[in-house]
Amino acid sequence: MSNPTTTTTTSWINSANGHPDFPLQNLPLGIFSLNGDTARGGVAIGDQVLDIKAAVELGLFEGEAATAAKAASEASLNHFFSLSAATRKAFRAALTHLLQDGSTDKTRIEQSQASLLHPQDRCTMHLPASIGDYTDFYVGIHHANNVGKLFRPDNPLLPNYKHVPIGYHGRASSIVNTGTDITRPKGQTCPPGADAPQFGPSKRLDFELELGIWIGTGNEMGQPIPISDAPEHFAGLCLLNDWSARDIQAWEYQPLGPFLAKNFASTVSPWVITAEALEPFRTAQPARPEGDPQPLPYLLDQKDQQLGACDIQLEVLLCTEKMRNEGMAPVSISVSNSLNMYWSVAQMIAHHTVGGCNLRPGDLLGSGTISGPEPSQLGSMLELTEGGKSSIELPSGETRTFLEDGDEVILTGRCCKDGYPSIGFGECRGIIKPTV
């Protein structure tokens, strides 16, 4: 079955038509439960969640689509991610056919609507997959340059940055779903001018505006993924907030890089925006500045140069405890775009595996903080306040240099294109709680 979706195709689920995040053209996948029952796969459509397991039991899928639907109905999406891109596409085409206006299955679905469709606000969302490994990259060049200036004003970008996608291996066990409270971490810090470190709660707690990249089909150890094949191993995207304790980080990161400053928590949004849903928003990689080196051959592919980037609008909102108590809405403190990534998803995957590392379905890659070139486009408090030298003024009369207890950070993402319905990522949110 070919994918029948067009820019004007609508759904018989009315809330999907004109929905800013979840129209028929999106169909993101996630794991949900109702009233504490068994978690299983679902599809966001408008303000509803389609229960994939119930749809499978009704026999609404056939052939390759049925194989994929059964995998997607499980308590995690790892099995679904392991399937070939062709099988995943067959499932998406069947879903679209099922949910679009004029569907021949509409009557069967309506007769079983109580078991098939559930309001999103009644669903509890879970992590989309069991994450075996997590690698955080550093592909936001404006962030890398801004942070570099704070520590090395005369040499902000080290020579390797424009030759190799920089990354480090993070902690998968502390990745949590949106809405999970974040406990302020403790650790060693060494304030400027101090002779010895001190121990206590982080005083410079920060967020990082990132994208999460879900790995689909894996590779065998010792078998690199060529960059031309990398899209076949990419399942989809989510939002990622890689919380950071900047004062702990400053003391511990040399010579081996991030450790406790990063491993206490990272938050992801619950919906996987599939590679197929992102296709209409694919675009050429931004031109490298004149004089920048061309990537080495294993990182260079003509199709990736032409369509390896994706146009995603990103936003950070902040809501303090005082603002919530006074009924004030969250305030936008930054707006950026994924086009500020210096390296593409395919380049990250190709580089990650070039030495023989095996990626597995459900592994997660972080993009690194995606800041833009303007002051309004900075993706961390570290940049927004110049390392704490200035402060953010909030409509409640409060100010912030770094995050305080009770602060809630909300990340959003949306793809927009003239003549095409917008597709969104939902929200990635978390509230800072005091140190235990």
Q: What pLDDT, on a 0 to 100 scale, did the predictor assign at position 337?
A: 98
Question: Are the beta carbons of 207 and 315 closer than 8 angstroms?
Answer: no
Categorize the per-residue pLDDT at 114 as very low, low, confident or very high, splitting at 50, 70 and 90.
Answer: confident
Question: Are the beta carbons of 28 and 11 closer than 8 angstroms?
Answer: no
| CATH number (domain holding residue 30) | 2.30.30.230
Please indicate, yes or no, whether residues 153 and 205 belong to a single structural domain of this protein: yes
Q: Which residue has the tokens 């009644």?
A: 122
Question: Nearest-CA neighbor of 95 among 55, 131, 135?
Answer: 55
Torsion of CA 227, 233, 237, 240, to 10 degrees: -80
Please indicate, yes or no, whether residues 118 and 202 belong to a single structural domain of this protein: no
**Among the three residues 102, 126, 150, which one is the final residue of a domain in this structure?**
126
Q: What are phi and psi of 93, to 5 degrees?
A: -65, -40
Residue 276 included in any domain? yes
Q: What pLDDT, on a 0 to 100 scale, did the predictor assign at position 1?
A: 41
Please indicate, yes or no, whether residues 98 and 168 belong to a single structural domain of this protein: no
Categorize the per-residue pLDDT at 402 as very low, low, confident or very high, splitting at 50, 70 and 90.
Answer: very high
Q: Residue 367 pLDDT more than 80?
A: yes
Question: Are the beta carbons of 363 and 82 closer than 8 angstroms?
Answer: no
Categorize the per-residue pLDDT at 3 as very low, low, confident or very high, splitting at 50, 70 and 90.
Answer: very low
Residue 315 included in any domain? no
Q: Which residue has the tokens 């962030």?
A: 143
Please indicate, yes or no, whether residues 177 and 58 belong to a single structural domain of this protein: no
The β-bridge relationship of strands 40-45 and 29-33 is antiparallel
Q: What are phi and psi of 90, to 5 degrees?
A: -65, -40
Please report, in range form, the residues annotated as the binding site: 136, 138, 152, 208, 210, 242, 249, 253, 262, 266, 369
Residue 71 included in any domain? yes
d(CA 211, CA 313): 11
- CA end-to-end span of the chain: 54
Please indicate, yes or no, whether residues 220 and 352 belong to a single structural domain of this protein: yes
DSSP class of residue 121?
G
Please indicate, yes or no, whether residues 113 and 141 belong to a single structural domain of this protein: no
For the chain, the average pLDDT equals 96
| CATH number (domain holding residue 169) | 3.90.850.10
Q: Residue 57 pLDDT more than 90?
A: yes
Range of 23's domain? 14-126
Q: Which residue out of 97, 142, 143, 233 is catalytically annotated? A: 143
Question: Nearest-CA neighbor of 113 among 50, 61, 23?
Answer: 50
Query: Does 280 sit behind a cis peptide bond, omega within 30 degrees of 0 on the bond before it?
Result: no
Please report, in range form, the residues annotated as the binding site for Ca(2+): 136, 208, 210, 242
Query: Does 255 sit behind a cis peptide bond, omega within 30 degrees of 0 on the bond before it?
Result: yes
Q: What pLDDT, on a 0 to 100 scale, did the predictor assign at position 2?
A: 41
Residue 326 included in any domain? no
Residue 45 included in any domain? yes
pLDDT, tens digit (0-9, with 9 covering 90-100), for 406-436: 999 999 999 999 999 999 999 999 999 999 8
Please indicate, yes or no, whether residues 183 and 39 belong to a single structural domain of this protein: no
Please indicate, yes or no, whether residues 48 and 114 belong to a single structural domain of this protein: yes
Tokens matching residue 157 = 């970008």
Q: Residue 108 pLDDT more than 60?
A: yes
Please indicate, yes or no, whether residues 138 and 116 belong to a single structural domain of this protein: no
Q: Residue 399 pLDDT more than 50?
A: yes
Residue 82 included in any domain? yes
d(CA 347, CA 342): 10
Tally helices (H) and strands (E) across the chain. Answer: 14, 26
Residue 383 included in any domain? no
Q: Residue 4 pLDDT more than 60?
A: no
Residues belonging to the chain: 436
DSSP class of residue 218?
-
Contacts 24+ apart (CB under 8 A), 62-70: 62/94, 63/90, 64/90, 64/91, 65/1, 65/90, 65/91, 65/93, 65/94, 69/94
Question: Nearest-CA neighbor of 143 among 381, 404, 412, 388?
Answer: 381
d(CA 33, CA 177): 14
Q: What pLDDT, on a 0 to 100 scale, did the predictor assign at position 6?
A: 65
Q: Active-site residue 143, yes or no? A: yes
Q: What percent of the chain has pLDDT over 90?
A: 92
Residue 407 included in any domain? no
Number of domains in the chain: 2
Half-sphere exposure of 232 (CA within 13 A, CB side): 11
Q: Residue 279 pLDDT more than 80?
A: yes
**Among the three residues 79, 108, 126, which one is the final residue of a domain in this structure?**
126
3-class DSSP state of 413: strand
For the beta carbon of residue 110, count every other beta carbon within 10 angstroms.
11
Please report, in range form, the residues annotated as the binding site for substrate: 138, 152, 249, 253, 369
Q: What pLDDT, on a 0 to 100 scale, did the predictor assign at position 185?
A: 98
**Among the three residues 126, 156, 173, which one is the final residue of a domain in this structure?**
126
- Which amino acid is located at 298 in the chain? Y
pLDDT, tens digit (0-9, with 9 covering 90-100), for 154-195: 889 999 999 999 999 999 999 999 999 999 999 999 988 899
Please indicate, yes or no, whether residues 103 and 148 belong to a single structural domain of this protein: no
Please report, in range form, the residues annotated as the binding site for Mg(2+): 242, 262, 266
Please indicate, yes or no, whether residues 273 and 360 belong to a single structural domain of this protein: yes
pLDDT, tens digit (0-9, with 9 covering 90-100), for 58-90: 999 999 999 999 999 999 999 999 999 999 999
Please indicate, yes or no, whether residues 148 and 250 belong to a single structural domain of this protein: yes
DSSP class of residue 118?
E
